[in-house]
Amino acid sequence: MNSMIDESSSAATLRDNADVAEVLGRTYSAGFITQIEMTGLPPGLDEGTVRAISAIKHEPEWMTEWRLEAYRHWLTMPKPDWAKLKIDPIDYQAISYYAAPKVAPKSLAEVDPALLETYEKLGVPLHERAALAGVAVDAVFDSVSVGTTFRKQLADAGVLFCSMSEAIREYPEIVRKYLGSVVPTGDNFFAALNSAVFSDGSFVFIPKGVRCPMELSTYFRINAQNTGQFERTLIVAEEGAHVSYLEGCTAPKRDENQLHAAVVELVALEKAQIKYSTVQNWYPGDENGVGGIYNFVTKRGDCRGDDAKISWTQVETGSAITWKYPSVVLRGDRSVGEFYSVALTHHYQQADTGTKMIHLGKYTKSKIVSKGISAGRSSNSYRGLVKMEKGAEGARNYTQCDSLLIGKKCGAHTFPYMEVKNPTAIVEHEATTSKISDDQMFYCRARGISEEDAVSMIVDGFCKQVFRELPMEFAVEAKKLLEVSLEGAVG
Amino acid sequence: MLKIENLHARVEGKEILKGLSLTVNAGEVHAIMGPNGAGKSTLGNVLCGREGYEVTRGTVSYNGMDLLTMAPEARAATGVFLAFQYPVEIPGVNNTYFLRAALNAQRKTRGEQELDSMQFLKLVREKLKVMQISDELLHRAVNEGFSGGEKKRNEIFQMAVLEPKLAILDETDSGLDIDALKQVAQGVNTLRSPDRAFLMITHYQRLLDYVVPDFVHVLADGRIVESGDKSLALKLEEHGYAGLAGRQPAGAVA
């Protein structure tokens, strides 16, 4: 067995004679609050809370029991503390576990205009006429799904795309078969909590042989105060099915930290392909590190059949703290797992993110490309595990981790773990740490490009490999997001 | 166009330029020659506003503006261009994209309409012909993996697209084989015009065989010690810089 742990930490200077402008605020354009009548549960968590959530959702008995089991397990679990994160203790009794607009819409036509406007402002129009061409959207507002577009077109193709609550009611046999089959209720502290109190999320089912005719997308929005968002997403692609899915996330600016603990499960059967992209822009807190979302998410895909493929692409610019390792279990022979990530931290943001590739099947392949950008006083860690089990004959992994430092007070860290139990497996790892050089800055400026535009351009070039993996319109969005997030990073 | 008077500049606390004076008029091509460490590249960097180059005395006036108070990007927008001795690689940033961003940033600062991608492409095609540069170079990242010759040709190509008023070529000829040198020289000659001036910093006379300068200056120990026409370059080639040591500064040359 080979095992390797390597840590490289560094902090570098952009320019000796220029201080990084810590106080120049970035513009968080999604920071507004929607005024809408809400209903919800008071803060606090016990078995009664779990039952109440289940009751509000009119869930069947098995679901309630499933939640309660998770809750009881959660009570016995210690909080994870291995990540390179400084987290103030979270008072789980101070959080409200359910918040929803008072008037529950039955269809898109009935959605409160204030809500439609909210999504409009965020660039996610929910009217099908105005909707992003070729993208079906499920909008989750606090604890509930407020609308899903293009349902009829999808249904005609045999694709099921709806909120998780609805799926539990309408397609209980599918949900029961797959829910918790990738991320078991007791998988980790936050996954257990999510399993107990999850309120909504998206459900996607692509039947055998179907290529989903459009991009699917879920847009998560936290609005209510003192509320946690615990969504649960399940995507199942049957034999030979293909789907590309994108999630986007924002939250208002608030001074207190809010908890977001989601679970995403992907199941790809034989020859199925799932591409899952995330543009995460939760409120990151202000320039002094006050407020912001705690983003503690468990995402895992299971290539359950031979020749299946699961690909994660993430662009993470938000959240005060990110704790997230989208992973792939490569069970089927010749199955493929990919992870492409851009994680940007600024001010006092902390990110501990990466992936796990678990190779079980023969000739399985995985590829990891992680790009970390740190500015301000932020801390950005890549943590990845590549595991080649005994049966992973001829399996291969390639990992590339690049860190870019802007300013002199930030940190970048790389923690690659490798466990190889099959001698025919090949694991490759490359890591680089660089800073935007004075030479690059001067070259751009001598050509007429301003300092800030030069930084964006260089960062964009640094991320190119990952942006290429995003669906076209979101690549543009991701690029803009990085620009906004880097505002004031150089002074 | 450019009037440098009694310029003193320091790099890392060490005085490199020690009272340099030079006047350049529109349409003129000036060659600055001199031994290693004389301050040739420092002059280019000071004129373009590179950080770390501290001007302690003297003035630089460019078309009536005080060049030394301007940011590098502002200088570029007014038409000052530096062809780098060591062009910088910017991984992942497409060469064409970079150039368009540069041109549009300059145009915007000057209050001109920015070029859309079609207009820009048309311009690039025209310039490509002139520069005899292959398209393929445009699709790659800025200078990434370019050979030495490709990097230098790319600098001249950028100059052709940006159409500066004052072009400073910092040892653009160094490291080029004779064919590449001819190509670069041809590019420069094509761009010579009555309203554009060139400052060519070079070690060797050979570039001047192809780009014939109006004036040749010898820079030694931070000052211009001799000025003349192209015959001065030939004299230098024959006798070397050693014969110039200890001469008095030549002062401003018109």
Residue A129's pLDDT is 45
Pick A462's closest partner by Cβ from B88, B92, B99. B92
Task: State the Cα–Cα distance between residues A205 and B89, nearest whole angstrom.
Answer: 46
- Work out the pLDDT band at A34, boundaries 50, 70, 90: low
Predicted confidence (pLDDT) at residue A488 exceeds the cutoff of 80: no
Contacts of B86 in chain A (CB under 8 A): 439
B72 touches chain A (CB under 8 A): yes
Which one-letter amino acid corresponds to residue A399? Answer: T
> A397 near A428, Cβ under 8 Å?
yes
- Work out the pLDDT band at A251, boundaries 50, 70, 90: low
Residue A423's pLDDT is 96
Contact A449 B48 (CB under 8 A): no
CA distance A295 to chain B (A): 30
Across all residues in chain A, what is the average pLDDT?
Answer: 82
A13 touches chain B (CB under 8 A): no
CA distance B73 to chain A (A): 4
For residue A153, the tally of other CB atoms under 10 A from its CB is 14
Question: Cβ neighbours of residue B205 under 8 Å, at least 6 residues apart?
Answer: B33, B233, B234, B236, B237
ipTM of model: 0.94
Task: Give how far the C-alpha of residue B119 lies from the chain's centroid of Cα atoms, to the nearest Å.
Answer: 27
Give me the mean pLDDT over the A30-38 stretch.
Answer: 65
**pTM, whole model, 2 decimals?**
0.80
In this structure, of A258-272, A281-295, B236-250, the range with the lowest mean pLDDT score is B236-250
CA distance A239 to chain B (A): 37
- For the record, the structure tokens of B62 come out as 């460019």
Residue A130's pLDDT is 45
For residue A456, the tally of other CB atoms under 10 A from its CB is 22
In this structure, of A84-88, A174-178, B97-101, B234-238, the range with the lowest mean pLDDT score is A84-88
Contacts of A18 in chain B (CB under 8 A): 51
* Closest CA in chain B for residue A462: B92
Residue A15's pLDDT is 29
Give me the mean pLDDT over the B95-122 stretch.
Answer: 95
Predicted confidence (pLDDT) at residue A171 exceeds the cutoff of 90: yes
Give the mutation candidate from A13, A404, A442, A468 for the B interface (greatest B CB count, under 10 A).
A442
First to last CA, chain A: 49
- Work out the pLDDT band at A32, boundaries 50, 70, 90: low
Contact A464 B92 (CB under 8 A): yes
- Work out the pLDDT band at A14, boundaries 50, 70, 90: very low
Give me the mean pLDDT over the A147-160 stretch.
Answer: 82
Give me the mean pLDDT over the A148-167 stretch.
Answer: 85
Predicted confidence (pLDDT) at residue A377 exceeds the cutoff of 90: no
Spell out a b/e string for A395-407, using b for 16 or more CB atoms within 10 Å of the CB, else e.
bbbebbbbbbbbb
**What angle is formed at CA A257 by the lines to CA A254 and CA A261, rounded to 5 degrees?**
120
Contacts of A479 in chain B (CB under 8 A): none
B82 touches chain A (CB under 8 A): yes
B93 touches chain A (CB under 8 A): yes
Give me the mean pLDDT over the B23-27 stretch.
Answer: 97
Contact B93 A461 (CB under 8 A): yes
Predicted confidence (pLDDT) at residue B16 exceeds the cutoff of 80: yes
Predicted confidence (pLDDT) at residue B5 exceeds the cutoff of 60: yes
Contact B93 A465 (CB under 8 A): no
Task: State the Cα–Cα distance between residues A474 and A481, nearest whole angstrom.
Answer: 10
Pick B90's closest partner by Cβ from A450, A453, A461. A461
Give me the mean pLDDT over the B249-253 stretch.
Answer: 45
Residue A337's pLDDT is 97
Predicted confidence (pLDDT) at residue A16 exceeds the cutoff of 60: no
Give the pairing of strands A38-40 and A99-101: antiparallel
CA distance A446 to chain B (A): 5
Give the mutation candidate from A15, A371, A436, A447 for the B interface (greatest B CB count, under 10 A).
A447
CA distance A76 to chain B (A): 48
Higher local confidence (pLDDT), B70 or A407? B70
What SS3 class is residue B40? helix
Q: Which of A51-55, A134-138, A355-359, B136-140 has the highest mean pLDDT?
A: A355-359
Of the candidates A190, A471, A483, A470, the one whose C-alpha atom is nearest the C-alpha of residue A317 is A483
**Residue indicated by tokens 């799932």:** A274
Pick B101's closest partner by Cβ from A439, A449, A463. A449
pLDDT tens digit string along A304-334?
999 999 999 988 887 788 888 999 999 999 9
> B2 near B197, Cβ under 8 Å?
yes
Pick B93's closest partner by Cβ from A17, A448, A457. A457
Give me the mean pLDDT over the A216-233 stretch.
Answer: 75
**Residue indicated by tokens 């459009």:** A214
Across all residues in chain B, what is the average pLDDT?
Answer: 90
- Work out the pLDDT band at B160, boundaries 50, 70, 90: very high
Share of chain A above pLDDT 70, in %: 77
Residue A110's pLDDT is 59
Give the mutation candidate from A436, A443, A459 for the B interface (greatest B CB count, under 10 A).
A443
Predicted confidence (pLDDT) at residue A209 exceeds the cutoff of 90: yes
Pick A442's closest partner by Cβ from B50, B93, B106. B50
DSSP assignment string, B70-134: S-HHHHHHTTEEEE-SSPPPEEEEEHHHHHHHHHHHHHHHTTPPPP-HHHHHHHHHHHHHHHT--
Contact B93 A458 (CB under 8 A): yes
Contact B88 A453 (CB under 8 A): no
Chain B (113-152) residues lying within 8 Å, Cβ to Cβ, of chain A: 141-142
Pick A443's closest partner by Cβ from B88, B91, B105. B88
B178 touches chain A (CB under 8 A): no
A445 touches chain B (CB under 8 A): yes
A462 touches chain B (CB under 8 A): yes
CA distance A205 to chain B (A): 37
Share of chain B above pLDDT 90, in %: 72
Residue A466's pLDDT is 87
Main-chain phi, psi angles of B95, to 5 degrees: -55, -45
Q: Which of A98-107, A144-153, A221-230, A337-346 has the highest mean pLDDT?
A: A337-346
Residue A23's pLDDT is 25
pLDDT tens digit string along A213-224?
888 888 776 666
Higher local confidence (pLDDT), A373 or B80? B80
* Closest CA in chain B for residue A444: B102
Of the candidates B214, B224, B166, B223, the one whose C-alpha atom is nearest the C-alpha of residue B2 is B166
What SS3 class is residue A138? strand
pLDDT tens digit string along A74-95?
999 988 777 777 878 888 888 8
Higher local confidence (pLDDT), B158 or A131? B158
Contact A461 B92 (CB under 8 A): yes
Contacts of B100 in chain A (CB under 8 A): none
Beta-carbon contacts below 8 Å between A and B: 85
Residue A6's pLDDT is 35
- Work out the pLDDT band at A26, boundaries 50, 70, 90: very low
Residue A120's pLDDT is 63
